[in-house]
Structures are given as C-alpha cells and as structure tokens.
Amino acid sequence: MGCSSCSTNKSGVPNGCKSNGNCGTGTCGSGHKLAVFDWLSNMTLPSGEAPFNIYEVRFKNGRKHFYKNTQNTSVSMGDVVAVEGSSGHDIGIVSLAGELVKVQMKKRKVEENSEDVKKIYRKASQKDIDVWQASRDREPETQRRGREIISKLGLQMKLSDVEFQGDGTKATFYYTADDRVDFRQLIRDLASAFSIRVEMRQVGMRQEAARLGGVGSCGRELCCSTWLTDFRKVNTAAARYQQLSLNPLKLAGQCGKLKCCLNFELDTYLEALDSFPKQDLVLKTEKGDAVFVKMDIFKKLLWYTYKEESFKWFKLSLEQVHEIIELNENNEVSSPLEEYEAEILEEAKIDFENVVGQDSLTRFDTPKKPRRNRKRGRKPVNKKTSSNTNKPTNKGSNSNKPSNSNKTQNKPVRKDSGKKNNNPENKRTEGKRPVRKNNRNNNNNKQRSNKPKPEGTQKQNQPQSKKQNNQKRRNPNKRQNNNNNKNAGNKEK
C-alpha cells in the first residue's frame, strides 16, 4: 500500500518520509493494521512533566505489546528495537509512542506496573536484523514440515501459522482445533526436527482469518486483518433486524462464523425500526383481518395479506398503516386494503437517458422472434424418415393406412380414373398446389398399379370397391353355417 502523504518508488519504498524504508505513519511499506499517526508529537509537554516511557511494539501479523524504556534510550516510531522475550530477546518495530500509548493501555486494561509490560534492551543492530530476517525466512518450510508431522501422528488439528522469535531460538505454532488435542508427542517431534524450543498456541477461527488475511465477499480486504482488533459476538438477531435471509452460506465469512460487519449497521436499523409498527400487530378491515408479511425499511413500505386470502399481498406505505392502526384503536374498522394500495403512486424509473445523443447499451439485447413454419398444419419431417420415403413400399403397407371418410367410400369408382391419371396433361404443373382429393386418388392408383398381378388377369379389370373386398375377406366357414341353418329351416316347414 502507498502512503498518501509521501511519494513511493516502483519497489513501494517511500521516498519522502526519510525513515529508511519505513513510513512514519506505519501504513507505507509495513502494511500492518491499526497504524496510528501521532498527532501529539509536535505538542510540548507541560513544565515539569516527563515524557511517557512506555512504547507499543509491533510484531508479525499485527501482534502488539507494551514495553518500558528503562534505559531512557532515544526511541521513535518506526525504529527496530530488541526487547525482552520469554527466554532471549525478540525483534520488533515501534508502532506508537507518547501520550497515545496511555489510551491504548487503558483500552486493553493494562496497568503500568503490570508484569506483562517488559523491557526494551536497545536499538537493534545490523547483526540482530540479519538473524531476525534469516529466522523469518525459515517459517514457510517449518510450517510445511510441521503439517507433515501432524498428519503422520493423525492429530485432528490445523496448523495455520508459525512465528519465530527474533533470536531464532524459539518458534510459536498457531493451530485451530474443534476438540482438545494431546500434542505432547508432537512437541517432541518438532523440537527434535528443528532444534528449537516449541510453543503451541491455540487460536479461534476469527483469529486465524485475521492472521492469514484475504478478500471478503464485498471485494475488499477482511476487516479483521486490516483494522478490526476486538471481536464482538454476532447473533442471528442482527440479520433478522436487517431483514436478511437466514442463509448461513451468505451470512458466514471466511472464518466460518457470522460476518462481523452485521454489527456495523445494526444501530442504524434499530433507530429506523422505531417508527415501524410491531410485526405481530393485526389490522382490522371491512374485508377481514390482515397480518404482516414483510417490509422495506429504506422505502418505508409494508406488505400485508388477509388471513383468509393469503395468496395476495397488498403494498401499503408507513403512513397508511399508522392511519389504520389509529382507526382500530378507536374501535373503528378501516376500508379494504385494495383501496389503500390504489392510492400509492409509483414513479417510473428511467434506466437510460439519451443526453449526449448516444444509443442505449441494451439495443442489441432484444429477444429474437421464434421461427414459424411456412406450411401450417404440417409437422416438420425428420431427416431419417424423409430418406426412407423414396424406397419401394411392401405389400402390406397399404393395409396400415387410415381409411377414407364415409363419403368417399360410397362413391363409385370411375372407369377412366386410371387413364386420366396416366395422361401427361393431368400431371401437376410447377407453382400450382394440387388438390388433396386428387392426390389421394392418384396415390391409391399408383400403389395399386405397382402391385404384382397374378397370371391370367386382364389389364382392363377395374379395381374392386372396399365393400366387395371386405366380403371376400370374411371367413367362408360362416357362409356355410348360414346356408346350413337356412336349409334346416326349410326342411322343418
């Protein structure tokens, strides 16, 4: 990140603040959260008042502690100092000095004479800085090998980060776990693998997200990794007051917990909801009782529906709802909700205004019209079926075709029908649509002419009607039975 008060070069190192690559405000080059500008640095102290000798020192991932300057060395913001550690010394950067440290100590409830406030040894030398940078370079490889050892032991824990002490003799392993973990064997394996003293420290899901960082669903860096230090409790009631759907996928952040930003606007929503009626209030109208469905806090609109007819919602303004409530308090029944809804006038939204003479951006987004078949009433022919139409038909294919109507069956067949169809004058001309009736007759005659004729038949034989064909197809045994019954009746007479 670049500082707005000083210029930076291509590598990101500031040029104007003259602090050897570190900005005086702490925002440029370092990139840590809660970098404070000491606006009291130019103010002189009252006479007889000694400067405050406790400083705030920052370590990796924004970890901060308070240290006393017992030797009265000249220390300013941005200096690299060697401070007291649990064993040995640690290297950090001074992030805050002066009277503002008292405010931070009061906020964190740390007293001046507390044991947590340790000492500042000296300003870090070049040798101290080299050892510190070398130990910081070992952290990624140590974290990778530490995860391999954890997987071999089969421990249900996640190693999120590793932080080396400034002198390189100690390393702190930060992990997250759902249940308690017995890591006594793990400490032995890590100490023997890296030849250092090991400290295991469990952190929560939110602390882990703050240490690792990332980008939220809003498109900005996570609040917990940039400026948020104290993690307050977030309840689902905050989402209910803001009329949000209780979807855990949308309400949860990268840590898996509810988003911290749900508390940011909660006070504003609570103030706006003071003017809205309670949701369990029932409105009494001439048509029946109406109950609450939903609301829009920004537009001050409410939706109600009848108990008996819950399928239709009615949109009312906040003033109309208060008017109905006043009538109900005076033991009066209001008019139906349809009349109130008709009074609301909605302003037409103008999506695009052609001010400069430009065309609309959505001019090419018009939907295409569906294609219509040119020949109505005809189904589209598949390629597979159309390819088989030119093949010769079998003998039994004519029997599966649907029969003509009763009118066409009763009409006698003309003798010259076959001759007229064979004449070239009666063939279909180009550009004219043939009549359906003639097409059927022509198709039937062509199919009959293609049938193989038995020997001995004459060409002049006329096609028989369907009535005669049906009589021939009947079972001859039935005729014999009918004749026998007739003869038996004549004998009895």
Taken in order of first residue, the domains within the chain and their CATH numbers are 1-31 (no CATH), 54-124 (no CATH), 138-203 (3.30.300.20), 228-272 (no CATH), 276-343 (no CATH)
Q: What does the H/E/C string look like for 274-326?
A: HHCCCCCCCEEECCCEEEEEEEECCCCEEEEEECCCCCCCEEEEHHHHHHHHH
Beta-bridged to residue 306, according to DSSP, are 290
> Which residues of the chain are modeled with pLDDT < 50?
1-5, 7, 12-14, 16-32, 385-410, 413, 415-431, 435, 437-442, 445-447, 449, 451, 456-463, 467, 491-493
Q: At which residue do the structure tokens 């017992």 appear?
A: 70
Provide the CB-side half-sphere exposure for 416 (13 A, CA): 3
pLDDT attached to residue 227: 84
Query: Can you read off the two tokens belonging to residue 197?
Result: 């003293």
Q: Which of 66, 78, 92, 74 is nearest to 37 (CA)?
A: 78
What mean pLDDT value characterizes the chain? 75
Task: Give the total residue count for the chain.
Answer: 493
Give the closest residue to 40 by CA, choosing from 99, 105, 107: 99
Residue 238 near residue 262 (C-beta atoms within 8 A): yes
Task: Tell me the residue type at 416.
Answer: D
Cα→Cα distances 409→308, 399, 450, 464, Å: 62, 16, 22, 12
Task: Tell me if 177 sits within 8 A of 157, measured CB to CB.
Answer: yes
* Count of beta carbons in the 10 Å neighbourhood of residue 65: 18
Q: Which residue has the tokens 């005729």?
A: 479
* pLDDT of amino acid 283: 92
Quote the pLDDT of residue 398: 45
Backbone angles phi, psi at 83, to 5 degrees: -120, 170
Q: How far is Cα 17 from Cα 26, in angstroms, rounded to an integer? A: 11
The label of the residue with tokens 């707005």 reads: 4
User: Tell me, what's the pLDDT at 486?
Assistant: 55
Task: Spell 268-305 as b/e; 16+ CB within 10 A means b.
Answer: eeeeebeeebeeeeebbbebeebebeebebeeebbbbb
| Percent of the residues in the chain that have a pLDDT greater than 90, as a whole number | 33
What's the confidence (pLDDT) of residue 374? 56
Neighbouring-strand partners of residue 96: 56
Task: State residue 26's pLDDT score.
Answer: 42
Tokens 């249900």 sit at which residue?
156
d(CA 456, CA 301): 95
For position 186, what pLDDT does the model report? 93
Residue 130 phi, psi dihedral angles, 5° rounding: -65, -40
Other Cβ atoms less than 10 A from the Cβ of 394: the count is: 8
CB contact set of 335 (below 8 Å; sequence gap of 6+): 285, 286
Q: Which two tokens stand for residue 414?
A: 């003309």
Between CA 65 and CA 104 the distance in angstroms is 10
